Structure 1
Amino acid sequence: MNVLGVIGSRFFRQLLTRHLAFLPSPPTFVDTIEAGRRALAQPVDLICLERHLPDGAGLDFAKAVRRNHQTASIPILLLATEVDQTLSSASLEAGVTEVFSKYELENLATYVEQRLRSEDAALKFSGRALLVEDSLPVARFIREALERIGLRVDAFTSAESALEVLNTRTYQIALIDVLLEGQMSGLGLVREIRGDSEGRNQQMPILAMSSMEDVARRIELLRQGANDFLAKPMFEEELVARVRNMVRLKRLLDESEAQREHLRRLAMTDQLTGLYNRHYLTEIASRRIAEANRHRIPVSLLVLDIDHFKRINDSLGHDAGDSVLAETASNIKDACREGDVAARTGGEEFVVLLINTAGARAAEFAERLRSRIETSRPAGLDVTVSIGLAEDGGRHDCTFASLFKAADAALYQAKESGRNRVVSIGV
């Protein structure tokens, strides 16, 4: 499914990307109506549209989409801060399919997921099939049958030639003859595909084909990783039915895996910022600190708080506050190295666990982060942060709880001494 997001807000583009992480490919985003019109030159299956854009109203864009016969049938989902009857009526007149609140994007994600499921049920094929068959008449018959249901076919007469492209292209299914020209048999090719744990096609469905009636050979093919067997000569209806069933099952498994991964990420991350949440922080930080203690590796912990954040919410509204939080989190994420742990623990408070960093290096990191956030002006505002820094002092016996308590006390000192500063303390 190709999703086009016409979204002016960078914050909501990031948020929407996370909520639609189950899609086979991420949404394509543009930030103006004019850019959206140009983007429609490419195939688009669904449009997510912001109500207010820098160069006009989202509803005007929706009307233009409906006036163009080439795009008139594309579903349009409108994102609005507040949804009421007046907006719903105006949206319906403009051709909008559904209206969703920006703060309930899980509802939009559910809608998109259900639509994706219905498209899969219809099974409009796309993608490539790998065909390895040394009989040219049989290969032509299979190619024409598969192309009629929407698959592009890459045909090879030997296992060796097929292996050369397996790591350069992704296939929906492979159809492999058992007896092939060349030194490698179809069984050998099946074994090679299933044995390549790093290969992009290791899990693709494999339909083995042969005119041989050797039951033992068929069983061995299935043992080595073929998913099904088709005897020659074959009927087109049977060939297509088997291919449809195998591709459908693979897509369902891929969708299930993507959904599990999506739910796993939701369980461990803060949905506004994309950083780890408090619950997962406690788990992973305790594990990392215990491991560091065993190997006598120094650790430090930062507790960071946005100064006067309540004023931003009270004077500019929660939209501005959310943007400040998201962009502050982005600065924190960019400053961290691989192995460090960053989390939002609630409200305007963040925590960063630094592995193999202590003393002057930890203080320098904290100061660079403080300065980076101040100069970046999140959401275009003058934003500063106070940071409390704690380290284990070289004893290698600290816990997450002891580090957090010390860093929180240092943060309190930073707030009391004027804010927009770093205060360090030992455990």
Structure 2
Amino acid sequence: MTARVLVVDDILANVKLLEARLTAEYFDVVSAMNGLEALTVCAEVMPDIVLLDVMMPGMDGFEVCRRIKANPATAHIPVVMVTALDQISDRVKGLEAGADDFLTKPVSDVALVTRVRSLSRLKMLTDELRMRAAASRDRSIEGDFDIDQVVGSAKGRILVVEDRRSTAERLQAMLGSAHAVTLQANPQEALLTAADGAFELVVVSLALANFDALRLCSQLRSLDRTRMLPILLIVDPEDQPRLLRGLEIGVNDYLTRPIDRQELLARVRTQIRRKRYNDHLRDNVQQTIEMAVTDGLTGLHNRRYMSTHLATLTEQAKERGKPLSVLILDIDFFKAINDTHGHDAGDEVLREFADRMRSNVRGIDLCCRYGGEEFVIVMPDTDLNLARVVAERLRQRVAGDPFVIAGGVKQIDVTISIGLGTLDGLQDTDEQIMKRADLALYRAKRNGRNCVVSDAA
């Protein structure tokens, strides 16, 4: 995996050293020598990660980081502070400015490459979500929402996996005022707990007594329900080799003992913010997908969805030698309802009719709004006689009870006409079934409406 890395340092030798190390690992490297140049380059080339020196003249790294994270176009780019500062207070200051991690000079080659790869992988995942969200809505995602508003200020839901009771309770005390914390001492039960709960972060001790903590991390990454769940490792100073292995398998962040409360809170906040941001992007994509196949007024599937799935269900019925029926339903004199009571009343009738239709069919039946006041029900494993029974029951259900409109003030009588078509032989197609059902509906209207007519009539 390659990525574009922006290296920012006011000392040319430091820039060249990092550039050489990263280029050797096939990363694409661009550089900047001061804070203002870094902001300009970042906006122009949109790197996958920024390696940012802290001590620079004019604008220091903390301020550069704050500005990167304040810009909606660059806020999702990971920033790693590369600095000789090694005080906890400096790390906390950087994390509060929005930094994703720290590398202390002199930087280990293994730590550098591992961290760049890990954060770049997360950035590329976010980029994919952003691209899908922007493409599905056919407009740029920037400016659509404020990140702080999206992530909110609600307490995070955190699962702590630590088998030393005193340490677990200390972590709970550190986090409890700002987050909802669940403790789990058994790693195998922790995996089930994580899968069943709506957690936003898992904190795992690398020093579990009778279980390989990295195995737990790997299992969390392999399950669908926990694959996107951030993992924060608690490590001992001498456990660097295993930490690097953890970063390779997908651990998001780590904290070295002894644990400082402010640094812990800052790192936890960063991970929860990133998860909420990515969840928001996924929700946007999912909503757009649903909107593409769902009728916004009734909540039923739309004509596009019906056409695709009817073809599939028809082929499956022919392959299995099973019956298939299609009902086309039309609300009688619907134009008169709109003309007499208004379009708002018409919308109320459509929504109520959709509810009655849903409540009178099976879960496997496909209910769709075909267009205007026409609806379609596709009924797998249903022959002509059973489909006629269902259609007649639905007709009576609609005609038997008045529809309430105008916010409950008025009631009107509504009836429907139904045309029924069924699968007829291996050469039959979904278009032919729909055509026969449509002709049957036409006969139902010609026969006086409020009736059911099948294609066998």
Q: Which residue of 1 aligns with 2:7?
A: none
| Cα drift, residue 186 of structure 1 | 2.2
SS in 2 for 1:354: strand
Segment drifting more, 287-296 vs 259-268: 287-296
1:231–1:408 distance in 2 versus 1, CA, 3 Å: same
Greater Cα shift, 202-211 or 161-170: 161-170
Alignment of 1:112-191 (within 5 A): 114=145, 117-121=147-151, 123-135=152-164, 138-148=167-177, 150-159=178-187, 162-163=190-191, 165-166=193-194, 169-181=197-209, 183-191=210-218
Give aligned-pair identity as a percent. Answer: 35
Post-superposition offset of 1:317: 1.0
Query: What residue is the counterpart of 2:349 in the other structure?
Result: 324
Whether the aligned pair in 1 keeps the contact of 2:293 and 2:301 (CA below 8 Å) is: yes
Q: In structure 1, give the amino acid aligned to 2:447.
A: S
1:421 is aligned to 451
Unpaired runs of at least 5, structure 2:
1-136, 405-410
Superposition CA RMSD, Å: 2.6
Amino acid across the alignment from 1:424: S
Give 1:362's match in structure 2, choosing from 387, 390, 412: 387
Deviation at 1:159, TM superposition (A): 2.7
Shift of residue 225 of structure 1?
A: 3.6
Shift in alpha-carbon separation, 1:365–1:213, aligned structure 2, 3 A: same
**Residue 419 (structure 2) aligns with:** 388
Pairing of 1:4-403 with structure 2 (within 5 A): 114=145, 117-121=147-151, 123-135=152-164, 138-148=167-177, 150-159=178-187, 162-163=190-191, 165-166=193-194, 169-181=197-209, 183-197=210-224, 199=225, 201-379=226-404, 380-393=411-424, 395-403=425-433
Give the 3-state SS of the residue equivalent to 2:325 in structure 1. strand
Quick check: which has more Rg, 1 or 2? 2
- For the 8 Å contact 1:158–1:180, the answer to whether it is kept is no
Match of residue 44 from structure 1 = none
Q: Would the aligned equivalents of 1:384 and 1:420 in 2 still touch at CA under 8 Å?
A: yes
Rate the CA distance shift 1:161–1:316 in 2: closer, same or farther, 3 A.
closer
Judging changes above 3 Å, is the alpha-carbon distance between structure 1 residues 333 and 156 closer, same or farther for their aligned structure 2 residues? closer
Q: Describe the SS at the equivalent of 2:258.
A: coil
CA contact (8 A) 1:134 1:157 kept: yes
Letter in 2 for 1:203: M
Range that drifts further, 125-134 or 289-298:
125-134
Structure 1 length-normalised TM = 0.66
* SS of structure 2 residue aligned to 1:335: coil
Shift of the 221–144 alpha-carbon distance from structure 1 to 2, 3 Å rule, reads same
Instruction: Indicate if the aligned counterparts of 1:146 and 1:240 stay in contact, CA closer than 8 A.
Output: yes
Kindly indicate whether the alpha-carbon contact (under 8 Å) linking 1:312 and 1:321 is maintained by their aligned counterparts in 2: yes
- Quote the offset at 1:358 in angstroms: 1.5
**Aligned residue pairs, count:** 310
CA contact (8 A) 2:162 2:184 kept: yes
Find the counterpart in structure 1 of residue 438 from structure 2.
408
Asked if the contact 1:298/1:358 (under 8 Å) is kept, the reply is yes
Deviation at 1:219, TM superposition (A): 2.5
The runs of 4+ residues in structure 1 deviating greater than 4 Å are 134-138
Change (3 A) 1:169 1:341: closer
- State the Cα distance separating 1:269 from its structure 2 match: 1.0
Q: Distance in 2 between matches of 1:304 and 1:134?
A: 62
